[in-house]
Amino acid sequence: MTSNPTLPVGHQLSGGRYQILKKLGEGGYGSVYLASDTRLAGRKVAIKELHDPAPAAQQLFQREAALLASLNHAGLVRVSDFFNDGTSHFLVMDYIDGRDLLETALEAEKARRLLPADKVADWILQVCGAVAYLHQLQPPVIHRDIKPANIRLNTQNEAILVDFGIAKIDPKAKTHLMAKAVSLGFSPPEQYAGGGGTDARSDVYALGATMYCLLTVQLPPDGFERLTADKPLPPPRQFNRSLTPALENIVLKAMALNSLQRYQDAGEMLAALRTALGKPAAAPLIVMVPAPSSVTCPQCGTLCRSGAHFCARCRHAFGAPVIRCSACGTPARNGARFCAHCRAPLSAAPGGAPTPPRIDPRQASQHVAQGDQFARAQQFDRAASEYEAAHRLGVETAALYTSLGRCYNQLDRYDDTIDLLEAGARQHSADAALHTQLALAYLGAEKFSQAIQTLELAYQLAPDNDDLALLLTNIYFDMGKQVKALPILEQLHRRQPQHELVRYRLAVGYLMADRLREAEKLIKDLQRANPNLGELSFLMGVLHRKQGNPRQALKDLQAAVQRAPDHALAWYIMGEVFMEQKKWREAIAAYEKSAIANPRDADPHAKLCLCYLALSKPTEAAAALARAVQIDSNNQIAQGIMKALGS
């Protein structure tokens, strides 16, 4: 991580209003300073400097900082000012004179004691209330960095949530540079690169992880490792026997890898916490905070141009009344009959009693039948219109949700599918087809962590569905988790013993698990049916290498590249065999072929560096290493070489 220049003590900002007293800390996206407000004698503030001079980042900063400055909740640090000096952006916040909960937990760990569970629960209750406030804003504010270090205890021992440096206002927006940070142990898997983005449930995970840490005085297992390496989450009561089962269940639900299985926002978690602690239910909190520098739609929260009469997104007429769900307070689009959040029927006007939808069963069934007909003809836009009409008439069966979701997926309307089927999944939690379509939408929207979790849930619900099982193994193979696919593939193989793709993947899985005898039998069976398939020669090469037969391995790998000259992995494994035999020049030739076949792979270049070093060719070695780092600065082989060389 590149360190940013530090502002010196005494440096003045914003025309001399703020004077730097000292640096409090630094993160990947900026620095935090303690400063005095010269206009208000004695007032100390925390100023966070965010480094990103890009015009898009400046515009985003202005929008988000304006909204953050308008927040008003006792559990949130108050943002009182924001400005930029052309190269950096600054957020001015109240300075909370106290200690953070990370310091509190570390002190307890050092003393080998646990924090009182009732005190921890009270702190989390306060923070959860603040996050529930953020989640009920329109549009919601997603904090995205909740952790013990960002919760400070003031002099009254009240928990205050601080640090809005990576807050994200619109959960449907693409992740921007200011919002890419993750905190190991506290960030959910969807927040990592390639995870697909965050929403209110991501904050719920972080709240649960924070609660886990404080109750156990243990760092929670990292969410990404839990997903990719199947690292289990030890139950909190394993470390703290005084914890009640109700509080433990709240932590485990909040930290579910599948976001559908978590509380859907901090408000739900807050209600569960109050119940577990025997506290009365709080009155619903409905808030609307417009961005002061623009026209904000009061219905969907979209920022619109000044003077607009209609929202560009939901077509709400400015000045018209906003219809809210009387059950949960969620605003609804024009003409909606059901709440998109809790599916309760909507009233005709704000505050009115819910009006039951008029359901005409015959008309609804006609729309469904017409939709089915259009879907069979692959006219998915027309089918979607018919299904939508049936849904408006009150049809909420799992089959309708699944059919409409499938149409949306076919039309690449992945966000619409996700909105629809997440609501449907709450009603039909045991329907595998619905969850499968939702997983496909997550894949289309590049929300990979949600996709794999939802697909696994669908498979648990329908383990005999061969298409679903094959789809899940596809995902496991794409993730490099071939061994995890083995039990599913073995079941598929028992049901479909002649399915070539299943047999091929099962062979690969056996190879990865070093079950070489089973792998060899399958590969030879496949070769008898497909004697000229280069991929099978490649697998035999890998097998013979694992069996300690390099001569035969090279013959098989050479046969593979003769049939498929651009087989990058075959060339790479060939290079590995030559390296093991210390045939450096032959290895160089193979690695170069691999690099040409797959120019985005850094590994061959790193291995070329090792070969050149063995041949005492430092210039060529340095060039190969530089290419590896240029392709992937985090490449493990290249990092190992640089560490060994002391560079």
Pairing status of strand 303-304 against strand 295-296: antiparallel
Confidence of residue 460 (pLDDT cuts 50, 70, 90): very high
Confidence of residue 646 (pLDDT cuts 50, 70, 90): confident
Tens of pLDDT, residue by residue over 204-227, are 999 999 999 999 999 999 888 888
Half-sphere exposure of 534 (CA within 13 A, CB side): 15
pLDDT at 384 over 60: yes
Mean pLDDT for 309-315 is: 54
**CATH assignment of 99-276, among 1.10.3210.10, 3.90.1150.200, 3.40.50.2300, 1.10.510.10:** 1.10.510.10
Mean pLDDT of the chain: 85
pLDDT at 82 over 80: yes
Lowest mean pLDDT across 1-5, 77-81, 248-252, 432-436: 1-5
Tens of pLDDT, residue by residue over 46-73, are 998 877 666 766 777 777 777 778 888 9
> pLDDT: is 450 or 359 the higher one?
450
The CATH superfamily holding the domain 361-462 is: Tetratricopeptide repeat domain (1.25.40.10)
Backbone region of residue 13 per phi and psi (left: phi > 0; alpha: psi in -120 to 50; beta: other values): beta
- Domain 12-94 listed as CATH 3.30.200.20: yes
**Pair of tokens at residue 531:** 């004697």
Mean pLDDT for 176-203 is: 72
Q: Which of 596, 595, 613 is nearest to 604 (CA)?
A: 595
Mean pLDDT for 79-106 is: 87
Tens of pLDDT, residue by residue over 527-560, are 999 888 899 999 999 999 999 999 999 999 999 9
pLDDT at 1 over 50: no
Task: Output the pLDDT for position 288.
Answer: 47
Lowest mean pLDDT across 325-329, 374-378, 512-516, 601-605: 325-329
Total count of residues recorded for the chain: 647
Confidence of residue 178 (pLDDT cuts 50, 70, 90): very low
> Contact, 273 vs 121, CB < 8 A?
yes
Rounded to an integer, what distance in angstroms lies between the CA atom of residue 255 and that of residue 259?
9
Lowest mean pLDDT across 339-343, 409-413, 422-426: 339-343
Task: Output the pLDDT for position 270.
Answer: 94
Of these ranges, 33-37, 160-164, 292-296, 587-591, the one predicted with the greatest mean pLDDT is 587-591
**Pair of tokens at residue 268:** 């739900």
pLDDT at 435 over 70: yes
Rounded to an integer, what distance in angstroms lies between the CA atom of residue 179 and that of residue 168?
7
Rounded to an integer, what distance in angstroms lies between the CA atom of residue 483 and that of residue 478?
12
pLDDT at 647 over 90: no
162 — phi, psi (to 5°)?
-120, 180
Rounded to an integer, what distance in angstroms lies between the CA atom of residue 21 and that of residue 11?
8
Task: Output the pLDDT for position 606.
Answer: 96
Give percent of the chain with pLDDT exceeding 90. 58
Q: Which long-range contacts (CB under 8 A, 24 or more apart) does 57-63 make?
A: 57/89, 57/176, 57/177, 57/178, 58/84, 58/89, 60/176, 60/178, 61/89, 61/178, 62/293, 63/169, 63/291, 63/293, 63/294, 63/303
Task: Output the pLDDT for position 50.
Answer: 78
Q: Would you call 19 helix, strand, or coil by DSSP?
A: strand
Domain boundary assignment for the chain: 12-94, 99-276, 361-462, 600-647
**C-alpha distance across the termini of the chain, in Å:** 16
Rounded to an integer, what distance in angstroms lies between the CA atom of residue 63 and that of residue 291?
7
> Contact, 511 vs 539, CB < 8 A?
yes
Backbone region of residue 42 per phi and psi (left: phi > 0; alpha: psi in -120 to 50; beta: other values): left
Q: Which of 133, 136, 138, 149 is nearest to 185 (CA)?
A: 149
